[in-house]
Amino acid sequence: MIMKKETPGQNPPDLTVAIGGLVLKNPVMTASGTFGYGEEYVPYCDLNRLGAVVVKGLSLEPRLGNPPPRIIETPSGMLNAVGLQNVGVRAFLSEKLPFLRRYDVAVIANIFGETVDQYRRVAHILSGAAGIHALELNISCPNVKKGGVAFGARPEAAAEVTANVRAETDLPLIVKLTPNVADIAEIALAVEEAGADGVSLINTLTGMSVDIEKRIPHLANVTGGLSGPAIKPVALRMVWQVVHAVKIPVIGIGGIMTAADALEFLIAGARAIQVGTANFVRPSATMEIIDGISDYLTRHGLGSIDKLIGSLNTNPSNGD
């Protein structure tokens, strides 16, 4: 094996990471539902620079989502109850994917269904399409009555849907986990055993907000999913727990607004990260985060991101 010589300050650090068979040029992805299908972000981001684009969740048929109001700002975050509005998997392939194919970027299709069979069929349709590099299985949406988190809250159900999709596709398979459970590591282990190549976490935390003058919920759905800086410490704790429970790569999500936030997840052991709510606040956030990670590695004399991932020292008094 040829060892790479570290020459800090000369070569840019190697940011390449692998998730199963999927090799990414850097660990920064967009989180599903916060970047549409990529097109709106072109004025702000060079899509070629992203590790991956994770597209809005796709279902077998188009969905209108929940009635408005569907979004409300909260201290240090936002609540959404969009309800998985999307164009449907076939329209995605004919109308949205051709645009993304023009770029040199990995495209990860986030998928969901109301039944195991629907998940399987969406996976089947996407597996035959050129330009899809991996699937992310959403078993964690808190805003739909059927499907979503119903599959992600119990290890048996999570394993069943994972195994069924695994049997349907050779694409790298990432399973996205919900934080709205007692033991997230137990679910992560179940999907690892069922054939997942990686897990991503966390999806939103179920929350609520009340208009005190009208005495009605701010969201028509009553409850919604909390995202943004408010959830970062919870997400980081869960990522750290899951990193120690499974052998497959873990993708960290939750309140990542800056490169410093992303670095916390990587040091805690996440192989890659996704940026969500930050895209609404600063549409070029992903570009700043990639640059910031690279600058940090250079500043610390680390030639590759591998040297950083999982380097957390939980016993600092015991030396380095």
Nearer to ligand FMN, 13 or 188 (CB): 188
Least Å distance, CB 56 to ligand FMN, is 5
Nearer to ligand FMN, 26 or 32 (CB): 32
The structure tokens listed for 107 are: 């495209």
**CB nearest ligand FMN: which residue?**
33
Whether 53 contacts 41, CB under 8 Å? no
Which among 122, 141, 190, 273 is annotated as catalytic?
141
Question: What letters, b where the CB count within 10 A reaches 16 and e where it falls short, cover 142-163?
Answer: bbbeebbbebbbebebbbbbbb
Least Å distance, CB 313 to ligand FMN, is 26
The structure tokens listed for 82 are: 């969009």
Least Å distance, CB 32 to ligand FMN, is 4
Nearer to ligand FMN, 177 or 303 (CB): 177
Four-point Cα dihedral 259, 265, 270, 274, nearest 10: -50
From first CA to last CA, the distance across the chain in angstroms is 28
Q: For this structure, is 141 an active site residue?
A: yes
Least Å distance, CB 307 to ligand FMN, is 25
DSSP letter for each residue of 197-254: SEEEE--PEEEE-EETTTTEESSTTSEEEEESGGGHHHHHHHHHHHHHH-SS-EEEES
Least Å distance, CB 168 to ligand FMN, is 19
Nearer to ligand FMN, 26 or 277 (CB): 277
Nearer to ligand FMN, 225 or 269 (CB): 225
Site residues, ligand FMN (CB under 6 A)? 31-34, 56-57, 80, 82, 84, 110, 138, 141, 176, 203-204, 227-228, 231, 253-256, 275-277
Question: Which residue stretches of the chain are H helix?
Answer: 89-91, 97-101, 116-127, 149-152, 155-168, 184-193, 232-245, 259-267, 278-281, 285-299
* Residues assigned a catalytic role: 141
